[in-house]
Amino acid sequence: MAAAKMILDVDTGIDDALALLFALKSDEIGLEGITTVFGNVSAEQATRNTLAVLELSGAAEDIPVAMGAAGPLFGEWGGTVESIHDRNGIGGYELPEPKKQAIAEFAPDFIVRKLNEQPGEITLVFVGRLTNLAIALAKDPTIASKAKRLVLMGGALYAPGNVTPVAEANIWGDPEAAHRVFESGIPITMVGLDVTMEAVLRDEDVRRFKELAAGPGQEPLVRFVDAILKYYFEAYEQYNGCVGRIPMHDPLAVAVAEDPSLVDTEPHYIAIETKGRLSAGATLSDRRKASAFTEINASVCVRVDRDRFVDRLLKVLAAQPLSAQMRGTD
């Protein structure tokens, strides 16, 4: 069966790097391109990290990387999330300077072009702010009907937020962009904190990864993954009180795009709060009448098969590097 065509949008911090490795190494995913955005780090740093991780993965060299928005639609970017991802976004780990450069095309223009070239064929997977997609939709609203679907890591319906009591970081980081995307008509699967906080990696999973990945030529990958996971474990323990468990936010979104059966979903009409001083970035649904919606704009993930997800994640990350085969063309 042909690999599912995807465009992955990242703000490459630690869990983005793992999501990126998953997408690059999975034999069931064909990346048509990678777009970058501000968030955990600047758009420039996210692009550098993305190119470096791409080279580390051993994936095909012809996968285009396009840099996108440097800040939200309105207001200013709040800066790097050093407490969780460190200054450079990948736990302070220094990957070699990438040999490849990003393409000159602006990420929203790249998204518009690819969806128009292959209507109905490409799944968009966004694991950062939705700014690039909001800009793309403003440039060409017809792409909402040309994307196969959008799988996004963001939001929280039943779970509390992780930036404010009610808001998740990606939606909070640009609520106006999220509002425009959710109102666009694009088919959306929302992989939010309701499931990502349950999709945890534990110490024994890291040990299993290193056992699975043992082999010639795998040392750079194992060192990188081990180092960034160590930083992530320590950061989550220090700042979130999570001991011996870390949520795999972004890898879960990519895994759900590959295999929707990993999660159970509920249909909802999700509204994005953009104005509230205390509630900006909240993803709201009228749960009093959830079973009687006449309009639905998202399938919201509410339960995850954690064990099956982690098993798939570890096996894909530990797989031997792919040969330089065509995985997408610019």
Q: Among residues 11, 16, 174, 194, which one is catalytic?
A: 11
Q: Among residues 85, 179, 249, 268, which one is catalytic?
A: 249
Residues near 321 by beta carbon (within 8 Å), at least 6 away in sequence: 25, 57, 58, 59, 217, 221
Distance (Å, whole) CA 311 – CA 237: 23
Burial class (CB in 10 A: 0-12, 13-18, 19+), 2: exposed
Distance (Å, whole) CA 83 – CA 97: 24
State the greatest distance between any 2 C-alpha atoms of the chain, in Å, as a whole number.
56
Q: Any idea of the CA torsion for 86, 92, 96, 99, to the nearest 10 degrees?
A: 10
Encode 33-66: b = buried (16+ Cβ within 10 Å), e = exposed: bbbbbbbbbbbebbbbbbbbbbbbbbbbeebbbb
Q: Does the active-site annotation cover 179?
A: no
Q: Does the active-site annotation cover 11?
A: yes
Name the nearest CA neighbour of 21 among 226, 170, 186, 193.
226
Catalytic residues: 11, 249
